[in-house]
């Protein structure tokens, strides 16, 4: 038998009036004892009468259970609600020989829109939570995106910095290598030119010596010829007195010619040696000028300090050249009755030295502490 229990406007534990409908499947038990109980209860009654009895029993239990539950418990957990009704009603209908095969809640509703309001509230809460979740997710995504961008920019900046440092180091190293190569090339070229000049000088000196030897041999041959002629005159042409006078005259003339030829040869030797030395000096001067040019270009990079070092390096050679004539003087006597005057003259020369060097080279030696101390003492 299929029954449809219905409870209208039944108040729940919260006082909300609900209407609940259900569907129940029941049957008369077939066991002998329970069948006898059912016969005792319903013998002579129609099927509709049996349905009414069981239906009223189910609706009574349904009402009593509705009064103990909240709307949320009934609405949200219908299976548990139906199970509870079945468990409470089964003993009562069982004593009438009736078995409940199944019981389910078909519908739950109210006339004051409580359930719909509850659904709206829940929907609003869910919507609110969803909106909050979306906003928080977007916020976290934005924060994470910003952090990722910042990390990317940091990494890019570090990479660009390393690349720039590597390029700068490469350019500096390349410049240093180029400068070293240029210096070595210039030094090799200068060494080659100097060596070539020395070899040319040696060759020229050998040639001059050969010419001198040839000239001496020619003079010796001419002297021998004079002697031969003199002997021939003595023996065959003139008398002994004339021969003697002529011999003396020829000897004098031969000696004169010999001296002239020797003087000419010596002069030629000196001239050619001078030309060779001049050529060598010119070549060496050009090489030294080129070396000084390269050295000046190198010193130019280091400013006034390099110029001052160059001048200080050249001062001993300048002083040597200036004082060279004094090496031939055996003794120098200064006539002065005042020793302090001699000292003042020396100090005056020392004081004028920086100004002279500055006028010639443009380098101020007075900035050197030792010279500054020496010149300042006399001031």
Instruction: List, for residues 312-340, the tens digit of each pLDDT value.
Output: 676 677 667 666 676 777 776 666 555 55
**How do the domains of the chain map onto residue ranges?**
2-112
What is the structure's pLDDT at 276?
79
Task: For residue 189, give Cα distances in angstroms to 194, 290, 308.
Answer: 9, 10, 27
What is the structure's pLDDT at 256?
80
| Euclidean distance between CA atoms 96 and 43, whole angstroms | 12
| Euclidean distance between CA atoms 177 and 19, whole angstroms | 101
What is the structure's pLDDT at 377?
46
| Euclidean distance between CA atoms 183 and 173, whole angstroms | 15
| Euclidean distance between CA atoms 257 and 220, whole angstroms | 11
CB atoms within 10 A of CB 12: 21
3-state secondary structure 258-320: HHHHHHHHHHHHHHHHHHHHHHHHHHHHHHHHHHHHHHHHHHHCCCHHHHHHHHHHHHHHHHH
What six digits make up the tokens of 275?
A: 């030309």
| Euclidean distance between CA atoms 278 and 339, whole angstroms | 47
The CA-to-CA distance between both ends of the chain, in Å, stands at 142
Rg of the chain (C-alpha set) = 69
Which residue do the tokens 């920019």 mark? 153
**Assigned superfamily of 2-112:** Band 7 domain (3.30.479.30)
| Euclidean distance between CA atoms 5 and 86, whole angstroms | 12
The torsion region of residue 97 among left (phi > 0), alpha (psi -120 to 50) and beta comes to: left
Asked if 65 and 88 touch (Cβ cutoff 8 Å), the reply is yes
What six digits make up the tokens of 212?
A: 């001198």
Summarised one tens digit per residue, pLDDT across range 105-142 is: 888 877 777 766 665 666 666 677 777 888 888 888 88
Cα-based torsion angle of the residue sequence 136, 137, 142, 148 in order, rounded to the nearest 10 degrees: 130
The three-class DSSP label of residue 30 is coil
| Euclidean distance between CA atoms 230 and 232, whole angstroms | 5
Residue 258: exposure state from Cβ atoms within 10 A (0-12, 13-18, ≥19)? middle
Task: For residue 82, give Cα distances in angstroms to 8, 58, 62, 111, 359.
Answer: 17, 11, 9, 22, 123
| Euclidean distance between CA atoms 55 and 23, whole angstroms | 10
Closest CA to 298 of 198, 201, 176: 176
Q: Helices in the chain by DSSP H: which ranges?
A: 32-42, 47-66, 71-76, 78-94, 114-232, 240-300, 304-323, 339-361, 369-378
pLDDT per residue, tens digit, the chain (379 aa), is 888 888 888 788 778 888 888 888 888 888 888 888 888 888 888 888 888 888 888 888 888 888 887 777 777 777 887 888 888 888 888 888 888 888 888 888 777 777 666 656 666 666 777 778 888 888 888 888 888 888 888 888 888 888 888 888 888 888 888 888 888 888 888 888 888 888 888 888 888 888 888 888 888 888 888 887 777 766 675 566 666 777 787 788 878 877 888 888 888 888 888 787 787 788 887 887 877 777 667 666 656 666 666 666 766 776 676 666 767 777 766 665 555 555 666 566 666 666 666 666 666 666 666 566 655 544 4
Q: Supply the pTM of this predicted model.
A: 0.31
What six digits make up the tokens of 158?
A: 């570090």
Residue 357: exposure state from Cβ atoms within 10 A (0-12, 13-18, ≥19)? buried
What six digits make up the tokens of 343?
A: 């000292």
Q: Which residues on adjacent β-strands are paired with residue 98?
A: 28
Asked if 343 and 350 touch (Cβ cutoff 8 Å), the reply is no
The three-class DSSP label of residue 103 is strand
What six digits make up the tokens of 73?
A: 């418990």
Cα within 13 Å of Cα(334), Cβ side: 10
What is the structure's pLDDT at 311?
67
| Euclidean distance between CA atoms 130 and 113, whole angstroms | 25
């Amino acid at each position: 038998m299929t029954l449809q229990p219905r409870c209208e406007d039944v108040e729940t534990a919260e006082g909300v009036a609900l209407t609940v409908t259900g569907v129940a499947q029941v049957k008369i038990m077939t066991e002998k004892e329970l069948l006898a109980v059912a016969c005792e209860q319903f013998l002579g009654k129609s099927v509709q009468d049996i349905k009414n009895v069981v239906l009223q029993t189910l609706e009574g239990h349904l009402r009593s259970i509705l009064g103990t539950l909240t709307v949320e418990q009934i609405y949200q957990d219908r299976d548990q609600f139906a199970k509870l009704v079945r468990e409470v009603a089964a003993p009562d209908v069982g004593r009438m020989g009736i078995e409940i095969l199944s019981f389910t809640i078909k519908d739950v509703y109210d006339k004051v829109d409580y359930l719909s309001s509850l659904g709206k509230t829940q929907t609003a809460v869910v919507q609110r939570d969803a909106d909050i979740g979306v906003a928080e997710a977007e916020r976290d995504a934005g924060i994470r995106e910003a952090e990722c961008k910042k990390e990317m920019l940091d990494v890019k900046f570090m990479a660009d910095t390393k690349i720039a440092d590597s390029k700068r180091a490469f350019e500096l190293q390349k410049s240093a290598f180029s400068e070293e190569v240029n210096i070595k090339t210039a030094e090799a070229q200068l060494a080659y030119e100097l060596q070539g000049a020395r070899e040319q000088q040696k060759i020229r000196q050998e040639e001059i010596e050969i010419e001198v030897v040839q000239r001496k041999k020619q003079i010796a041959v001419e002297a021998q010829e004079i002697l031969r002629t003199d002997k021939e005159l003595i023996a065959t042409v003139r008398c002994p007195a004339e021969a003697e006078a002529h011999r003396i005259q020829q000897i004098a003339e031969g000696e004169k010619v010999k001296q002239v030829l020797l003087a000419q040869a010596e002069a030629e030797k000196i001239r050619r040696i001078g030309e060779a030395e001049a050529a060598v000096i010119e070549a060496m001067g050009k090489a030294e000028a080129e070396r000084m040019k390269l050295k000046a270009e190198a010193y130019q990079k280091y400013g006034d300090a390099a110029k001052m070092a160059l001048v200080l390096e050249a001062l001993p050679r300048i002083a040597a050249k200036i004082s060279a004539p004094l090496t031939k003087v055996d003794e120098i006597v200064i006539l002065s009755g005042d020793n302090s005057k001699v000292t003042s003259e020396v100090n005056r020369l020392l004081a004028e030295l920086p100004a002279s060097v500055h006028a010639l080279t443009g380098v101020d030696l007075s900035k050197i502490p030792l010279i500054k101390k020496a010149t300042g003492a006399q001031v």
